[in-house]
Amino acid sequence: MEVLVFITGLMFGSFYNVVGLRLPNGESIVWPGSHCPKCNHKLSWYENIPLFSYLFLDGKCKSCHEPISIMYPLIELLTGTLFLISYLIFGLTENFIIGLILSSLVSIIFVSDSKYMLILDSPLIIGSILILLIRYINHGITPVWQSLLSGLLVFGLMLGLMLFGNFIFKKETMGGGDIKLSFVAGLALGPILGTFYIVLGAFLAFPYALYITITKKENMLPFGPFLALAMLLIYFNMDKFLDFIYYILRLK
């Protein structure tokens, strides 16, 4: 079962590369088929096997011999690994399905935000609907309302932080996609862990932000991948993070 889950993740990861690279440009994710972005060579089936084709082709297009972006196999491997981790932690349960949804969002956000500094609305909307639908099917309407309120709370908190940052620094400090992602985090994690996910995301982003500020003299970075990773780390370890938060609160 583990092998099947991992291979499924590799296949979805290949698709998420397409979603994250094409949708920001208004391109179809169906047509044209997979092709080299440099010479438009249409990929044959053996050139389109997730992860393995990259290794088989030595990281180069068969036609023009230009290097293939390392992002393709990395996202495929990332998605396969996250799918597998979700299965190993939760088994075939409701939490496993939600873990797959969040893992999918992480992969798509890594592609689109790293490449275009953009978090797409459509995956966030689809992910939110699926999470609420799963909660409704398994537990009824009450948890759905609770999840919605939690999502709105974390969304509002992130929005408030953005407005405060914009006021202090007199410029845009956060993208709209980061705010919308926080709604999904609230749905999946609840109000306490949803709030902590903002803190953890900032903590994860700080070393990279410091690096690009010193070396590249830039002050803009894609925050979405760090927030998405924080969301998934907390979801995979919810009990441990709750224990940690309660421990900190008791110390105070």
Beta-bridge mates of residue 67: 60
Summarize pLDDT for 32-58 with one digit per residue, the tens.
Answer: 777 767 777 777 767 678 888 888 877
The answer to whether the CB of 102 falls within 8 A of the CB of 128 is no
Are 87 and 145 members of one domain? Answer: no
Residue type, 70: I
Q: Is 224 exposed, middle or buried (0-12, 13-18, 19+ CB in 10 A)?
A: buried
| pLDDT of amino acid 149 | 96
Are 6 and 63 members of one domain? Answer: yes
**What does the alpha-carbon distance between residue 58 and residue 129 come to, in Å, rounded to a whole number?**
40
Q: Is 87 exposed, middle or buried (0-12, 13-18, 19+ CB in 10 A)?
A: buried
Summarize pLDDT for 161-177 with one digit per residue, the tens.
Answer: 888 888 787 777 777 88
CA 40-16-35 angle, to 5 degrees, is 10
Are 18 and 143 members of one domain? Answer: no
Residue 87: CA count within 13 A, CB half-sphere: 15
| 3-class secondary-structure state, position 60 | strand
Are 151 and 222 members of one domain? Answer: yes
Q: Which of 133-142, 228-237, 239-248 has the lowest mean pLDDT?
A: 239-248
Residue 97 lies in a domain: no
Residue 108 lies in a domain: no
Binned at pLDDT 50, 70 and 90, residue 31 comes out as confident
**What does the alpha-carbon distance between residue 114 and residue 249 come to, in Å, rounded to a whole number?**
35
Are 228 and 131 members of one domain? Answer: yes
Q: Is the pLDDT of residue 83 over 70?
A: yes
Are 227 and 132 members of one domain? Answer: yes
Phi and psi at 42, nearest 5°, equal: -75, 125
Are 73 and 153 members of one domain? Answer: no
Which one of 73, 92, 111 terminates a domain?
92
Residue 110 lies in a domain: no
Binned at pLDDT 50, 70 and 90, residue 11 comes out as very high
Residue 33 lies in a domain: yes
| pLDDT of amino acid 110 | 93
Are 250 and 164 members of one domain? Answer: yes
Q: Which domain holds residue 77?
A: 1-92
Mean local confidence (pLDDT), 213-233: 83
Summarize pLDDT for 92-111 with one digit per residue, the tens.
Answer: 999 999 999 999 999 999 99
Domain count for the chain: 2
Which one of 41, 73, 92 terminates a domain?
92
Q: Percentage of the chain with pLDDT > 90?
A: 56
Among 8-12, 22-26, 212-216, the range of highest mean pLDDT: 8-12
Are 234 and 124 members of one domain? Answer: yes
Residue 114 lies in a domain: no
**What does the alpha-carbon distance between residue 152 and residue 210 come to, in Å, rounded to a whole number?**
31
Q: Please report which residue ranges of 216-237 form alpha helices under DSSP H.
A: 224-236
The secondary structure element, H or E, covering residue 102 is: helix 94-116
Which one of 74, 92, 110 terminates a domain?
92
Residue 109 lies in a domain: no
Residue 103 lies in a domain: no
| pLDDT of amino acid 37 | 72
Are 133 and 207 members of one domain? Answer: yes
CA 108-110-116 angle, to 5 degrees, is 95
Q: Is the pLDDT of residue 252 over 70?
A: no
Are 145 and 78 members of one domain? Answer: no
Are 69 and 127 members of one domain? Answer: no
Mean local confidence (pLDDT), 114-136: 93
Summarize pLDDT for 138-166 with one digit per residue, the tens.
Answer: 999 998 999 999 999 999 999 998 888 88
Residue 34 lies in a domain: yes
Average pLDDT of the chain?
A: 88
| pLDDT of amino acid 144 | 92
**What does the alpha-carbon distance between residue 159 and residue 213 come to, in Å, rounded to a whole number?**
24
Residues 6+ apart with CB under 8 A from 148: 132, 187
Q: What distance, in Å, lies between the first and last C-alpha atoms of the chain?
A: 45
**What does the alpha-carbon distance between residue 187 and residue 132 come to, in Å, rounded to a whole number?**
8
Task: Retrieve residue 46's tokens.
Answer: 């053996």
Q: Is the pLDDT of residue 251 over 60?
A: no
Mean local confidence (pLDDT), 77-86: 97
